[in-house]
């Protein structure tokens, strides 16, 4: 029995801004239902459903209505079997025929068709496949201005979860950390833009292009400013290693990757609005998190800031995690912190000697200003 009836996928329809949106898909008793993040609902009856199988990875299943004005799609590996089961066998024959036809087509045209397509659009979509297999190398072809436009648009359209504060001492303390780290970033062209948000969340992130957001809960949780600098070094590394750009390209598909390569972000800013939410941007892969740690340690060491502060902050979060799990968003989006603490310490053992210089900040005053600040 196939118990799974909810899947993540998407919808194509002219009523959606940009024509496409991500959606939660439900396999109901009478048809396929889709609910977008904007609460738009779409439905295709099993009895009217036209099934196609393909997409860039040959695993995507498209369910279209009779006039093909609506398409609901999903690429989850369990989706075809669940769809056949939920439709009580109505769509099973279509699924089998489409899969068989796809296999035959791939066998017959694997050489000529694939070669033709790659030759025709190699200059546009080559980096997309590179992004999936070797993201850092692929996105080097994309201008930094693309990151900046995406990050700026992302911050302007998202709800950061609290009011921005403009206390000169508090903001300047974060700016001091960023200014100390920025000269040692992997890409010197980045201009980091600091924002401090009043919220108990222990969190920070850096959007593509260098928009940095720090929550006051993170500042209050840190025992000394170098620990916050360690978090910032990690998050700045995601931007300079262009992990966010890789995530967006992978999520939006070949056409978006092609647009990124030529610097055309207008369509992407429309299609990818849901990706600018904090949870999505911060959902990096384990490999990207490890890269962010290693690059953050390198930046801290080069800036004469003790990288051990990064490991110390992990340890603080471990101790507090049981008491405030909902607020510890920074640690919750970064799994396996025990292994990461060990990795940071091991990397420090390979670094050359450095005379670490602490940040010249009155940390107690910074924290007191946050604690005594009334809600805006």
pLDDT(250) > 70: no
pLDDT(134) > 50: no
| Alpha-carbon gap, residue 295 to 236, rounded angstroms | 9
152 pLDDT band, cuts 50/70/90, is: confident
Angle of the 225-240 helix axis to the 243-252 helix axis, nearest 10:
50
**Residue 374, pLDDT score:** 57
Q: Is there a single domain that holds both residue 94 and residue 206?
A: no
| Alpha-carbon gap, residue 210 to 204, rounded angstroms | 12
Domain annotation covers residue 112: no
pLDDT(275) > 70: no
pLDDT(2) > 90: no
**What does the block give as tokens for 324?**
């405030």
Q: Is there a single domain that holds both residue 219 and residue 353?
A: yes
**Residue 177, pLDDT score:** 98
Helix/strand number for the chain, H first, E second:
15, 11
Domain annotation covers residue 219: yes
Angle of the 225-240 helix axis to the 168-181 helix axis, nearest 10:
60
Domain annotation covers residue 127: no
Is residue 238 helix, strand or coil? helix
Domain carrying residue 53: 6-102
Angle of the 225-240 helix axis to the 308-321 helix axis, nearest 10:
100
Instruction: Identify which has the larger pLDDT, 209 or 134.
Output: 209
| Alpha-carbon gap, residue 237 to 181, rounded angstroms | 10
Q: Is there a single domain that holds both residue 181 and residue 57?
A: no
Give, in order, the Cα–Cα distances in Å from 57 to each of 54, 77, 101, 154, 253: 7, 11, 15, 28, 10
Q: Is there a single domain that holds both residue 98 and residue 157?
A: no
* Average pLDDT rounded to a whole number, residues 274-300: 74
Domain annotation covers residue 1: no
Instruction: Indicate the burial class of 104 (C-beta count within 10 angstroms; 0-12, 13-18, 19 or more).
Output: exposed
Cα three-residue angle 169-170-173, rounded to 5 degrees:
85
Q: Mean pLDDT across the chain, nearest whole number?
A: 79
Contact 36, 46 (CB under 8 A): no
- pLDDT tens for residues 83-120? 888 888 888 888 888 777 766 665 655 455 444 444 44
Domain annotation covers residue 139: no
* Average pLDDT rounded to a whole number, residues 282-293: 81
- pLDDT tens for residues 328-354? 455 555 556 678 888 899 999 999 999
Give me the number of domains the chain comprises.
Answer: 2
Q: Is there a single domain that holds both residue 301 and residue 162?
A: yes
| Alpha-carbon gap, residue 188 to 166, rounded angstroms | 26
**Residue 310, pLDDT score:** 92
Task: Tell me the percentage of the chain whose pLDDT exceeds 90.
Answer: 39
* Average pLDDT rounded to a whole number, residues 361-372: 92
- pLDDT tens for residues 292-305? 999 999 999 999 99
**Residue 42, pLDDT score:** 95
> How many other CB atoms sit within 10 Å of the CB of residue 74?
25
| Alpha-carbon gap, residue 175 to 166, rounded angstroms | 12
79, 102, 125 — which closes off a domain? 102
Strand 41-45, strand 20-27: pairing: unpaired
52, 77, 102 — which closes off a domain? 102
Q: Which of 74, 82, 87 is nearest to 5 (CA)?
A: 82
Q: Is there a single domain that holds both residue 31 and residue 162?
A: no
| Alpha-carbon gap, residue 99 to 53, rounded angstroms | 6
Angle of the 92-139 helix axis to the 243-252 helix axis, nearest 10:
160
**Residue 119, pLDDT score:** 46
Domain annotation covers residue 228: yes
User: Residues 6 or more apart from 163 whose CB is under 8 A from it?
Assistant: 197, 198, 375, 376
Domain annotation covers residue 125: no
Give, in order, the Cα–Cα distances in Å from 55 to each of 99, 130, 172, 253: 12, 17, 49, 10
Q: Is there a single domain that holds both residue 167 and residue 30?
A: no
Q: Is there a single domain that holds both residue 70 and residue 186?
A: no
102, 120, 154 — which closes off a domain? 102
Contact 196, 366 (CB under 8 A): no
The owner of tokens 């490890």 is 290
């Amino acid at each position: 029995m196939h118990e799974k009836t909810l899947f993540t996928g998407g919808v194509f329809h002219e009523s959606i801004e940009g024509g496409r949106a991500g959606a939660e898909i439900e396999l109901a008793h009478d048809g396929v239902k889709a609910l977008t993040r904007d609460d738009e609902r779409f439905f295709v009856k099993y009895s009217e459903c036209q099934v196609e199988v393909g997409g860039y990875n040959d695993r995507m299943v498209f369910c279209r209505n009779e006039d093909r004005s609506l398409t609901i799609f999903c690429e989850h590996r369990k989706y075809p079997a669940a769809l056949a089961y939920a439709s009580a066998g109505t769509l099973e024959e279509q699924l089998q025929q489409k899969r068989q036809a796809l296999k035959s087509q791939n066998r017959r045209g694997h050489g000529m068709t694939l070669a033709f397509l790659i030759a025709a659009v190699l200059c546009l979509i080559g980096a997309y496949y590179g992004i999936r297999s070797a993201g850092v190398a692929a996105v080097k072809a994309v201008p930094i201005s693309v990151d900046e436009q995406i990050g700026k648009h992302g911050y302007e359209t998202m709800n950061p979860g609290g009011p921005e504060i403009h206390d000169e001492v508090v903001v300047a303390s974060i700016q001091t950390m960023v200014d100390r780290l920025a000269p040692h970033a992997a890409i010197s062209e980045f201009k980091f833009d600091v924002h401090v948000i009043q919220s108990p969340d222990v969190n920070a992130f850096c959007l593509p292009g260098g928009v940095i957001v720090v929550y006051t809960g993170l500042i209050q949780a840190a025992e000394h400013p170098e620990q916050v600098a360690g978090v910032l070094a990690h998050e700045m590394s995601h931007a300079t290693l262009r992990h966010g750009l890789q995530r967006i390209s992978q999520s939006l598909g070949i056409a978006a990757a092609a647009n990124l390569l030529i610097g055309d972000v207008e369509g992407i800013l429309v299609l990818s609005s849901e990706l600018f939410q904090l949870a999505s941007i911060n959902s990096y892969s384990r490999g990207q998190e490890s890269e962010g740690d290693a690059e953050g340690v390198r930046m801290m060491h080069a800036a004469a800031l003790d990288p051990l502060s990064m490991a110390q902050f992990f340890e603080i979060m471990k101790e507090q995690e049981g008491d405030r799990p909902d607020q510890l968003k920074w640690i919750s989006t970064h799994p396996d912190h025990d292994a990461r603490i060990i990795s940071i310490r091991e990397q420090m053992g390979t670094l050359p000697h450095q005379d670490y210089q602490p940040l010249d900040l009155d940390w107690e005053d910074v924290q007191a200003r946050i604690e005594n600040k009334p809600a805006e």
